[in-house]
Amino acid sequence: MELAVVVKVVPEGDHVGFDAARGTLRRDDGSLVLNPFDQRALRVAIELRRPGERVTVVSMGPPSVEPALRETLALGADHAILVSDTALAGSDTLVTARVLARILEPLAPGLVVTGKRTTDSETGQVPAQLAALLGHSLVGPAKRLTRSDSGTSFDVTVETETGWARLAANAPIVVSVGEKIGKPLKLGERPASTSGVLERRDLASLGFTPEEVGLAGSPTVVDRLVDRASPRRGVVFTEGSPSARASAAVAALRELLTERARSPAPVSVPPVAAARHGDVWVLVTDDAGTMDAGSLGAITECRRSLPARRCVAVGIGPAPSPLDSRRLAAAGADVLLQLPVTERWTARTAAMALAQRLGEDRGVGAVVFPATAFGRELGGRLSAALGLGLTGDAVELGQRPDGTVVFGKPSFGGGIIAEIRTRTRPALATLRFHTFAAGSSEDGARLPTEAGPTVAADGSVRLEGRGQDPRDALLDPDGARIVISVGVGGSGPDLLAELRRLAVAWSAGLVGTRRVVDAGVLPLSRQVGLTGRSIAPDLGILVGVRGSPNHMVAWRRARALLAINPDATAPVFAACDVGILGRAEEILPLLADDIPRLLPP
């Protein structure tokens, strides 16, 4: 069986620029390295290779990436193929997936391994788009992957938003891998290929024209960049006793929370019967057919940001309960499109059913999915199947006067929002649902329901089991008015125990930075930041958080932010409204009684 690894060469660390004239990332600044997730994908493929089999590395990029690709041969790959052509500059994820698929198709690999995302663009869309174009199943992000004795089936344990799932999958498949799958290979750890060569290909050899790739052929384009500099006050209390600093911070927070008092999110919109720009669909269920509570806020935001459009809640699985139906209506949904399922359905067959339904309905202007593994696969597959532009991990949406939908995606650590427009209709996006608050209306009626096509069974993938990290059931941030974020400086066992105690007393959620989650202190579902979730509590309390832009971007819609840190130079202070200089161990007990009083019922 042929094994393939799809890799991308990215700027090392923060060495990435932006071409303002073209609206694209510039990837020739600083050192270039193999994407860290793809390094792990390479290890997986090499370790699963059996005698007589070949591992081929496939990539797309400028000639400057060649040294990094040659390193894959030194690490043990048998063959590397680089597609390089100046016309490819500015290609979006769908064009990228099309080019990669064109290389892979004649190789007919039984297993294609990718990283779950890249560190430069962070979309995580290419694996799903590639799987759809190849006609393969997709599983991931995998944290464990084993191969059967026959060599044609795999046992895969994948990370989910609330724990893990174990799957049995048959070749051919695409597997995306996460950090937990293992460490990257090191030079000398495996025998280098003695006959491996780096093969260069151009567009003509693949049958593409310049008009089909690059900016010209991409269905998504960056319309403009918008400065979203933090509006936080950055008032830090550094003088006086710990008690005086805590009291002053509480007073400042009380004034700020009163000033920024929330009002119910609007859901009243003009009549939609004669809407000019098409319906907006919102996926409201997860991969188990259960309603995603975050979809309520997404529905409300769609009604607010895309006025005069009918809002269609899309459910996959059993019909919602009467209570959930009323909640969807109250959030602003006009109708429920319900797709029934057979046993053993997957995102692959769900995407097929959605594509069928979209093909029957030309009145859809936009479709949004949650920015979860399930939502990314559905969106990516639909994008590839119908040739539609897909924006990943959007945090805002709107429309131009002519009705063109635009999605806002954080870039450069979140200080800049890239407004992305699609040239195709409907516009697709994965949206950070939990960024938005659900509105409410007086209409408590159940939604009218339309039946969609049945989601078929998928014999190539079988669910063997599903589990939840027991920590996920505790201190859930969803719906919590207060959320505590733990940084490396707050993750010591004694301080963490105190934070858990306070979170229970305050009915607060508990989340953490990427480094804290990677260290196993908190489960994956609690990672907040550019590569995690976004949240919008009334009050966020950041303890021992350094203040990386990649973390702070997730707090943009929080009503107020308080930072506690002993380092006066920590960037978190400038990114929050109120700061207290000091050790959390001495400051937190002084806040225990006052914090819940800041948010009366």
Separation in Å, CA 313 to CA 156, 297, 316: 32, 12, 10
Question: Residue range 37-49: average pLDDT?
Answer: 94
User: What DSSP assignment string belongs to 553-600?
Assistant: GGGTT-SEEEEEES-TT-THHHHSSEEEES-HHHHHHHHTTHHHHTS-
Q: Which residues contact 564 (CB under 8 A, 6 or more apart)?
A: 541, 542, 543, 544, 579, 580, 582, 584, 587, 588
Higher pLDDT, 579 or 18: 579
Distance CA 31, CA 450 (A): 54
- Residues 452, 498, single domain; the answer is no
169 close to 127: Cβ distance less than 8 angstroms: no
Residue 17 domain-assigned (yes or no): yes
Per residue in 477-505, is it b (16+ CB within 10 Å) or e — as a string? beebbbbbbbbebbbeeebbebbbebbee
3-state helix, strand, coil in the chain (%, to 5): 30, 30, 40
Residue 269's pLDDT band, with cuts at 50, 70 and 90, is very low
What angle separates helix 347-360 from helix 126-134, to the nearest 10 degrees?
80
- Residues 451, 475, single domain; the answer is no
Q: What is the pLDDT of residue 370?
A: 94
- Residues 101, 116, single domain; the answer is yes
Question: Is the pLDDT score of 266 beyond 70?
Answer: no
367-398 pLDDT, tens digit per residue, is: 999 998 899 999 999 999 999 999 998 989 99
Question: Is the pLDDT score of 413 beyond 80?
Answer: no
Question: Residue range 139-158: average pLDDT?
Answer: 94
Distance CA 307, CA 322 (A): 27
User: Tokens 């990718």, residue?
Assistant: 114
Residue 415's pLDDT band, with cuts at 50, 70 and 90, is low
When the pLDDT of each residue in the chain is averaged and rounded to a whole number, the result is 88
Q: What is the pLDDT of residue 15?
A: 43
- Residues 426, 524, single domain; the answer is no
Residue 269 domain-assigned (yes or no): no
44-71 pLDDT, tens digit per residue, is: 999 999 999 999 999 999 999 999 999 9
- Residues 414, 320, single domain; the answer is yes
Higher pLDDT, 138 or 263: 138
- Residues 429, 298, single domain; the answer is yes
Residue 362 domain-assigned (yes or no): yes
Distance CA 295, CA 286 (A): 10
Question: Is the pLDDT score of 287 beyond 70?
Answer: yes
Question: Is the pLDDT score of 74 beyond 50?
Answer: yes
Q: What is the CATH number of the domain that holds 546?
A: 3.40.50.1220
Query: How many domains does the structure of the chain reveal?
Result: 3
111 close to 154: Cβ distance less than 8 angstroms: yes
Q: What is the pLDDT of residue 228?
A: 66
330 close to 440: Cβ distance less than 8 angstroms: yes
Q: Mark which of 435, 464, 493 sits at the end of a domain.
A: 464
Nearest to 577, CA basis, from 537, 550, 518, 517: 537
- Residues 256, 285, single domain; the answer is no
Distance CA 277, CA 266 (A): 20
Question: Residue range 104-122: average pLDDT?
Answer: 87
Q: Among 4-18, 255-269, 445-459, where is mean pLDDT lowest?
A: 255-269
Residue 270 domain-assigned (yes or no): no
Question: Residue range 310-321: average pLDDT?
Answer: 95
Higher pLDDT, 440 or 370: 370
Question: Is the pLDDT score of 250 beyond 90?
Answer: yes
Tokens of 524: 């994956």
Residue 223 domain-assigned (yes or no): no
Q: Which residues pair with 350 in a beta bridge?
A: none
Q: Which residues pair with 175 in a beta bridge?
A: 113, 139
- Residues 40, 122, single domain; the answer is yes
User: Tokens 């490819």, residue?
Assistant: 88
Q: What is the pLDDT of residue 532?
A: 79
Q: Which domain holds residue 577?
A: 230-261+469-597
Q: What is the pLDDT of residue 229?
A: 65
Q: E strands within 498-538?
A: 509-512
Question: Residue range 81-107: average pLDDT?
Answer: 95
- Residues 117, 252, single domain; the answer is no
Highest mean pLDDT among 163-167, 280-284, 418-422, 552-556: 280-284
Could you give the 3-state DSSP secondary structure of residue 117? coil
Element (H, E) at 55: strand 55-60
Q: Does the N-terminal peptide bond of residue 172 adopt cis geometry, omega within 30 degrees of 0?
A: yes
- Residues 495, 533, single domain; the answer is yes
- Residues 532, 555, single domain; the answer is yes
Q: What is the pLDDT of residue 120?
A: 67
Q: Which residues contact 43 (CB under 8 A, 6 or more apart)?
A: 181, 182, 183, 184, 185
Residue 225 domain-assigned (yes or no): no
Residue 267 domain-assigned (yes or no): no
Q: What is the pLDDT of residue 122?
A: 59
Q: What is the pLDDT of residue 439?
A: 76
143 close to 157: Cβ distance less than 8 angstroms: yes
Question: Is the pLDDT score of 262 beyond 50?
Answer: yes
Q: What is the pLDDT of residue 26?
A: 54
Q: Mark which of 433, 464, 495 sits at the end of a domain.
A: 464
Q: What is the CATH number of the domain that holds 430?
A: 3.40.50.620
Residue 266 domain-assigned (yes or no): no
Distance CA 329, CA 326 (A): 5
- Residues 478, 451, single domain; the answer is no
470-517 pLDDT, tens digit per residue, is: 666 678 888 789 999 999 988 888 899 999 999 999 999 999 998 898
Q: What's this model's pTM, rounded to 2 decimal places?
A: 0.86
Q: Mark which of 464, 491, 519 sits at the end of a domain.
A: 464
Tokens of 396: 């805002």
Residue 557's pLDDT band, with cuts at 50, 70 and 90, is confident
